[in-house]
Amino acid sequence: MRITKIGFLLLFFCQVLATVCKAQEENYVAPTGLNNWYVEAGGPALFYSINYEKYLYRTYSESYTWSARVGAGYTPFNFDILNTVYVPKNTFMFPFSTSLLIGSGREKLEVGGGFTMFSQGFSENQIVPHAVFGLRVMEANRICFRLNYAPFYQDGSVTHWVGISLGKNFSFK
Whole-number percent of the chain with pLDDT over 90:
37
* 119 band by pLDDT with thresholds 50, 70 and 90: very high
Arithmetic mean of pLDDT, 61-75: 91
The reported pLDDT for the residue numbered 10 is 54
User: Mean pLDDT in the chain?
Assistant: 81
Q: Please state, in angstroms and rounded to a whole number, the distance separating the CA atoms of residues 22 and 29.
A: 13
Q: H/E element holding 138?
A: strand 124-138
| Contact criterion met (CB below 8 Å) for 97 and 130 | yes
The reported pLDDT for the residue numbered 15 is 59
Arithmetic mean of pLDDT, 45-69: 89
CA 34, 35, 40, 45 torsion-angle sign: positive
Is pLDDT at 102 greater than 90 in this prediction? yes
Is pLDDT at 94 greater than 90 in this prediction? yes
Q: Please state, in angstroms and rounded to a whole number, the distance separating the CA atoms of residues 34 and 39.
A: 17
| Range from 91-95, 145-149, 153-157 carrying the lowest mean pLDDT | 153-157
Q: Quick one: which of 50, 126, 48, 121 has its CA closest to 90?
A: 121
Arithmetic mean of pLDDT, 14-25: 49
Q: Using alpha carbons, list the distances in angstroms from residue 45 to 34, 62, 136.
A: 23, 28, 18
173 exposure class (CB count in 10 Å sphere: 0-12, 13-18, 19+): exposed
Is pLDDT at 29 greater than 50 in this prediction? no
Q: Using alpha carbons, list the distances in angstroms from residue 1 to 9, 10, 21.
A: 13, 14, 30
Task: Give a three-class secondary structure readout of 10-41.
Answer: HHHHHHHHHHHHHHHHHHCCCCCCEEEEEEEE
